[in-house]
Chain A
Amino acid sequence: MSRFIQIHLLTAYPPANLNRDDQGRPKTAKMGGVDRLRVSSQSLKRHWRTSELFGQAVSGHLGTRTKRLGLGIYDRLTEAGIKDKNALTWAATIAGEFGKNKKADKNDPLNELEIEQLVHIGPDEQAQIDQLVATLIEEQRAPEKGELDLLRETTSAVDIALFGRMLASKPAYNIEAACQVAHAISVHPVVIEDDYFTAVDDLNDGREDAGSSHIGETGFAAGLFYSYLCINREQLIENLNGDAALANRAIAALIETAIKVPPSGKQNSFAHQGYASYVLAEAGNQQPRSLSVSFLKPVEVRGLIDKDYLTQAVDAIRQQYQGFDQVYGPCADRRYEICVGERLGAMGELLDFVGGAE
Chain B
Amino acid sequence: MYLSRVTLKPDIGQNSQLGRLLQSNTYGTHQLLWDLFDQEKRDFLYREEVAKEQLKQHAGAKGEPVYYVLSVTRPRESTPLFTVESKEYRPQFQAGQRLSFCLTANPVVTRDKKRCDLVMDEQLVFFRQACKEIGLSCEGSKGDLKRRLMENQRASAVTDYLCSYLSQSRCFADAVAGHSVDVLLGLATQEAVSRRLIQWLAHNPSRDGLFSIAEQEVEDDDGDREITVPVFQWQRYRIHPLPQKDASARKQQARFLSVDISGELIVKDPEGFLTMINNGIGPAKAFGCGLMLIRPR
User: What does the 1/0 interface line of B32-51 toward A look like (CB < 8 Å)?
Assistant: 00000000000000000001
Return the chain A residue nearest B214 by Cβ: A24
Write out the residue numbers on chain B whose beta carbons fall within 8 Å of the beta carbon of A45. 221
Interface membership of B143, Cβ < 8 A: no
Q: Which residues of B contact A (CB under 8 A)?
A: 3, 5, 51-55, 58, 68, 85, 87-94, 100, 102, 160, 163, 170, 173-174, 177-178, 216, 218-219, 221-224, 229, 231-233, 262-264, 293-297
CB within 8 Å of B: which of A197-248?
A: 197, 199-206, 208, 210-211, 214
Bound together, the chains give a CA A23 to CA B224 distance in angstroms of 19
Q: Could you give 8 example pairs across A and B, Cβ below 8 Å?
A: A22-B231, A23-B231, A46-B224, A118-B222, A193-B58, A196-B295, A203-B91, A211-B295
Write out the residue numbers on chain A whose beta carbons fall within 8 Å of the beta carbon of B296. 199, 202-203, 210-211, 214
Residues A199 and B174 in contact in the complex (CB < 8 Å), given A191-B55, A193-B53, A204-B88: no
Return the chain A residue nearest B157 by Cβ: A103
Tell which of A35-43, A88-96, A138-146, A313-321 binds the partner. Answer: A35-43
Contact B160 A204 (CB under 8 A): no
Write out the residue numbers on chain A whose beta carbons fall within 8 Å of the beta carbon of B91. 200, 203-204, 206
Interface membership of A70, Cβ < 8 A: no
In order of increasing CB-CB distance, the 5 nearest A-B pairs are A206-B92, A211-B296, A199-B295, A203-B91, A42-B221
Residue in contact with A195 in the complex, picked from B221, B233, B263, B295, CB distance below 8 Å: B295
Contact A118 B294 (CB under 8 A): no
Bound together, the chains give a CA A203 to CA B173 distance in angstroms of 40
Q: Which residues of A contact B (CB under 8 A)?
A: 22-24, 34-35, 40, 42-43, 45-46, 50, 65, 103, 116-118, 168, 189-197, 199-206, 208, 210-211, 214, 265
Give chain B nearest CB distance to A266 CB in angstroms: 10
Most chain A Cβ neighbours within 10 Å, of B88, B102, B173, B221:
B221
Write out the residue numbers on chain A whose beta carbons fall within 8 Å of the beta carbon of B294. 196, 199, 203
Write out the residue numbers on chain B whose beta carbons fall within 8 Å of the beta carbon of A43. 219, 221
Bound together, the chains give a CA A43 to CA B206 distance in angstroms of 41
Write out the residue numbers on chain A whose beta carbons fall within 8 Å of the beta carbon of B160. 103
Contact A24 B92 (CB under 8 A): no
Residues A200 and B174 in contact in the complex (CB < 8 Å), given A65-B224, A191-B55: no
Bound together, the chains give a CA A42 to CA B221 distance in angstroms of 6
Residue in contact with B89 in the complex, picked from A22, A191, A204, A208, CB distance below 8 Å: A204
Write out the residue numbers on chain A whose beta carbons fall within 8 Å of the beta carbon of B295. 194-196, 199, 202-203, 211, 214
Bound together, the chains give a CA A194 to CA B231 distance in angstroms of 15
Contact A24 B221 (CB under 8 A): no
Not counting A65-B224, A203-B296, a sample of 14 additional A-B residue pairs whose C-beta atoms are within 8 angstroms of each other reads A23-B263, A24-B264, A116-B177, A168-B177, A195-B58, A199-B296, A200-B89, A201-B87, A203-B93, A203-B294, A205-B92, A211-B295, A211-B296, A211-B297
Return the chain B residue nearest A192 by Cβ: B52
Give chain A nearest CB distance to B31 CB in angstroms: 23
Residues A117 and B174 in contact in the complex (CB < 8 Å), given A42-B222, A45-B221: yes
Write out the residue numbers on chain A whose beta carbons fall within 8 Å of the beta carbon of B177. 116-117, 168
Contact A206 B94 (CB under 8 A): yes
Bound together, the chains give a CA A42 to CA B55 distance in angstroms of 30
Bound together, the chains give a CA A265 to CA B219 distance in angstroms of 9
Contact B87 A208 (CB under 8 A): no
Write out the residue numbers on chain A whose beta carbons fall within 8 Å of the beta carbon of B93. 203, 206
Residue in contact with B102 in the complex, picked from A35, A194, A204, CB distance below 8 Å: A194
Write out the residue numbers on chain A whose beta carbons fall within 8 Å of the beta carbon of B293. 196
Give chain B nearest CB distance to A267 CB in angstroms: 13
Write out the residue numbers on chain B whose beta carbons fall within 8 Å of the beta carbon of A46. 219, 221-222, 224
Return the chain A residue nearest B160 by Cβ: A103
Contact A22 B170 (CB under 8 A): yes
Most chain B Cβ neighbours within 10 Å, of A189, A193, A214:
A193
Give chain A nearest CB distance to B227 CB in angstroms: 10
Write out the residue numbers on chain A whose beta carbons fall within 8 Å of the beta carbon of B53. 191, 193
Bound together, the chains give a CA A193 to CA B223 distance in angstroms of 31
Contact B52 A193 (CB under 8 A): yes
Contact B92 A189 (CB under 8 A): no
Write out the residue numbers on chain B whose beta carbons fall within 8 Å of the beta carbon of A208. 94
Write out the residue numbers on chain A whose beta carbons fall within 8 Å of the beta carbon of B55. 191
Bound together, the chains give a CA A214 to CA B294 distance in angstroms of 13
Give chain B nearest CB distance to A165 CB in angstroms: 11
Residues A204 and B297 in contact in the complex (CB < 8 Å), given A24-B216, A168-B178, A196-B68: no
Write out the residue numbers on chain B whose beta carbons fall within 8 Å of the beta carbon of A34. 54
Give chain B nearest CB distance to A174 CB in angstroms: 13
Bound together, the chains give a CA A8 to CA B13 distance in angstroms of 43
Write out the residue numbers on chain A whose beta carbons fall within 8 Å of the beta carbon of B264. 24
Return the chain A residue nearest B295 by Cβ: A199
Give chain A nearest CB distance to B192 CB in angstroms: 17
Residues A22 and B3 in contact in the complex (CB < 8 Å), given A168-B177, A203-B295: no
